[in-house]
Chains A and B, each alone.
Chain A
Amino acid sequence: MTSNRLWRLLLAPGAIWLLLLFVAPFGVVIAVSLGTTDFIGRPVFGWYPENYQQVFDPIFIPVLVRTAAFAIGTTLLCLVIGYPVAYMIARYGGRFRNLLIVLIILPWFADYLVRIYAWYVILGNEGVVNGLLQAIGLHGNPPITFVNTPFAVVGGLVYDYLPFMILPIYAALERMDPSLIEAGKDLYGTPFQTFLNVTWPATIQGVIAGAVLVGLPAVGDFATAQILGGPNTYMIGNLINDQFTNGGYPPFGAALTIVLMILLSLLMVFYLRSASAPSEATI
């Protein structure tokens, strides 16, 4: 068979799988979102576009704002913490580079839930920090409530996704020609200017990749908010999850899901277009 025919055939299994188990399910979600429920709550198809109206009910604005704040906050924190680490390993890691990167990834091998639970162990009312404080005598009964706060949730989110910010930035830094930085120092003098005008633009692709790899899962997260948070850290992931598993209205949950997907897809288009312009500082 001709070369091209062979390659086109190879596209098939993947494409068919994605069609069946990625595209078609969204069809069902759209169908459920336009439907209603029968008298005990099972989804029933129909034509009820008012479910989408409910999505834009102003009472959910706090949830949206909070989710965006947590996601952006997590991404920024990951960037601020992660970039120096990536830089350190890439530029000054030497022969320990690979080992250091492996060490960065190592905590990720602990299950996602275990990582959240680990923070609960540390910050919980009966946890390590409170135990230490009590031992020192700084705070007796009652223990300080660190959990059930937005800080615990963001801290947990940052902890979960930090490696995903470090890795792409590290990859971009590694790929960069180090003589560019030297040249930059000649041109710009101070390290900060060099960074701003040479290093940063060269690694922007990595930063964007990191931001996507951190921000998107953070938007959809609900387990961290549930375990480490309280009623006041309700995120959109919790809102969607509750519609299907905890006394909600599935068509509303489906409508929320579709709207969220559309929003995120638009964001992705935006990022793609801004990133497709090639950057001169790369090789």
Chain B
Amino acid sequence: MASDIWRSPINRRDFLKGGAALGLGGSAALIAAACASPGVSVAPVVTPSYPKAQIDGDLEFFNWSQYLNPDAITGFAKHYGVKVNQTNFDNMQSMMAKLNAGIPYDITFPTMDFVDQLVKANALLGIDHTQLANWSEVPSYFNNPWYDPHAFYSVPYALWTTGIAWRTDHVPDTLAGSWNDIWTLAPKYSGKLFLLDDFQEVLGMSLLRNHKDINSGNRSDLDAAVSEILKIKSNVGKFSTDDITNMNNGSAWIHHTWSGDIYQVIAAATHPEIWRYETASEGVPTGNDTFVIPKAAKHPGTALKFIDWMLDPVNARANVNYFGYPQVTTSGIDEYQKLVAKLPFLTLSLDTAIHGLREIVPTGAKLQLWDSEWTKVKAG
């Protein structure tokens, strides 16, 4: 049966005919496409369209994994009688890839610099704060944050820092509180050191270690940063943002990670005292992320209701206890202090997050540069 294919004497001419069909079809499509789409340009800032806060269908929920209390989701679903369909992304870039493909998620959680971009690209629906009963819970700074003037499009979600976590039972070394620790530890614990699968975090960290700007657009800075990473790449166990699982199941002894994730590991560990977390002297990426409603959302009203639900003090407190980050509401930040009291390395104030070191996602030509440098890290 399969051998029959090969018996028919397809010669070069016929093959070229078929290939020509492909090529012709291709060029035709090309021409059609070129005529049809004038290309996407940056739209002038327009008045956002504000959906009303009312239940208008099931919620398409697009978030990091293990980044929002599952009880809050089931609670919401039960209270309002809707379904919540959850999809997860690995990092901001894959979130953007899905949004760019036009998939109609109702609510998602970009970091502040990505919100900045999405606002400029006119890719979000407006959020009318008068429709949110619990908006008073949000600290006043966020009425006009740097990334979303007048907060037309976003509601803050949580604060975070990036650092290094390790377990002292297998890694008894004393770390130096520097990004260089990764380079010291990697050869020693080959295969047990995991980095985040996030180009801003990894390239940024290498840039910081070289005392360069974390958002540098300078090609030689980036090349140097990449070559440094490639030096230890054979010792890196994996690039993964699934850090909680990796630490929990023992495959990672050292993990490039975020502050709340190490909290979750400790909360689930049989021997929590072995875990440590440090931030680096060269620079600590920090900031907040947000709730936003993408333009393609089919059920923005439900999304608004969900945001309001999460801003509620009771839900915010429960959420903080689940995911270990300070949710940006008065109750959330208050609840977080209790966690800090138990684990001092989690200290993170609102002020630090707002004015601290910002990762700014590159755009345009700089984005292409960063993309190609990141591809070199993955493929090199």
Chain A residues proximal to chain B, CB less than 8 Å = 19, 23-24, 26-31, 34, 36-42, 44-46, 54, 59-60, 62-63, 125-126, 142-143, 145, 148, 167-168, 171-172, 205-206, 208-209, 213, 230-232, 234, 238-239, 242-249, 252, 265, 269, 271-273, 275-276, 278
Q: Least Cβ distance of B336 to chain A in Å?
A: 30
Q: Do the beta carbons of A38 and B41 come within 8 Å of each other? A: yes
| Contact indicator per residue, chain B 327-366, by CB within 8 Å of chain A (1) or not (0) | 0000000000000000000000000000000000001100
Residue of B nearest to A63 (CB): B379
B93 neighbours in A (Cβ, 8 Å): 246-248
- Closest chain A residue to B21, Cβ basis: A23
Which applies to chain A's interface (DSSP): helix, strand, loop or mixed?
helix
Known contacts A39-B363, A40-B96: A209-B2 contact under CB 8 Å: yes
Chain B contacts with A in 169-198, Cβ cutoff 8 A: 170, 191-192, 197-198
Picked from A34, A38, A168, the residue with its CB within 8 Å of the CB of B2 is: A168
List of B residues within 8 angstroms of A44 by Cβ: 37, 39-40
Q: Which of B30, B92, B371 contacts A249 (CB 8 A)?
A: B371
A232 touching B191, Cβ below 8 Å = no
Confirm or deny: B288 has a beta carbon within 8 angstroms of a beta carbon on chain A.
no
Contact present for B40 and A41 (CB under 8 Å): no
Residue among B12, B29, B249, B372 with most chain A CB within 10 A:
B29
Q: Which B residues form the contact surface with A (CB < 8 A)?
A: 1-3, 5-12, 15, 19, 21-22, 25-30, 33-34, 37, 39-42, 90-94, 96-98, 100, 117-118, 120-121, 123, 170, 191-192, 197-199, 233-234, 236-239, 249-251, 363-364, 367-368, 371-372, 374-376, 378-380
10 contacts between A and B (CB under 8 A): A23-B22, A26-B26, A27-B30, A31-B26, A31-B33, A39-B42, A63-B379, A272-B10, A276-B8, A276-B9
Contacts of A26 in B (CB 8 A): 22, 25-26, 29
Residues of A within 8 A of B98 (CB): 245
> What residues of chain A lie closer than 8 Å to B12, measured between beta carbons?
269, 273
Taking A27-B30, A230-B237, A269-B12 as contacts, is the C-beta distance between A206 and B3 under 8 angstroms? yes
* Interface contact B367-A232, CB-CB below 8 Å: no
Contact A30 B121 (CB under 8 A): no
Cβ contact within 8 Å between B15 and A41: no
Docked CA distance A150–B15 (Å)? 36
Contact status A242-B2, CB under 8 Å: no
Report chain B residues within 8 Å CB of A30.
Answer: 26-27, 29-30
A252 CA to B39 CA, complexed, in Å: 18
Whole-angstrom distance between the Cβ of B192 and the nearest chain A Cβ: 8
Which residues of chain A are near B192, meaning CB under 8 Å? Answer: 142
Residues of B within 8 A of A24 (CB): 25, 29
Selected from B37, B94, B97, B378, the residue in CB contact (under 8 A) with A231 is B378
